[in-house]
A = this chain, B = another copy of it.
């Protein structure tokens, strides 16, 4: 976070601190008091701005989704052809794992919470759909894989790609031997070409 936490308005400050806490220790292990304390704000401020813990987490996730979805789409549209786009997508995931593991952890945690909290679930579903559409539009539109498998809908292909990237990333985050899974991502890239 290179945003200046001090100068931001309080709700931004809370959001950024909340991201830090949640992505470091997990939704279940962070209390509203922790976040209030860490952002130097009264507990009731959190309620005032975000109603409750669920609302706060929702906004943290929204902030992240907004930021990184744009980033992905920019990267993809900057790439010239399908091959470069795939490379860019895989690079994004690698970079996520290596340099922004907190973000990935936050998202994995969020995904699991979504199993039990309806509003989270809608959010996750919407994100998955957006990602699928991005992959579909940018990568599958004009490549031979699309033709090769045109008996399947492009949506299914995109979902499989997304699933593979996500599932592989989870293994990396949780596994002890990270190298072989990074290899898996490279492999995914070469399969797609």
Contacts and interface: CB of A to CB of B under 8 A. Distances in A.
A33 B124 CA distance: 31
Contacts of A185: 160
What is the interface of chain A mostly: helix, strand, loop, or mixed? helix
Interface of A: 25-29, 105, 108-109, 111-116, 121, 124-125, 128-129, 149, 152-153, 155-157, 159-160, 162-171, 173-176, 180-181, 183-188, 190-191
Number of copies: 2
Contacts of A159: 168, 171, 180-181, 183-184
A129 B114 CA distance: 26
Given A112-B109, A116-B26, A174-B114, A183 B156 contact: yes
A111 B115 CA distance: 12
Given A164-B160, A166-B167, A186 B112 contact: no
Given A25-B116, A156-B184, A111 B174 contact: yes
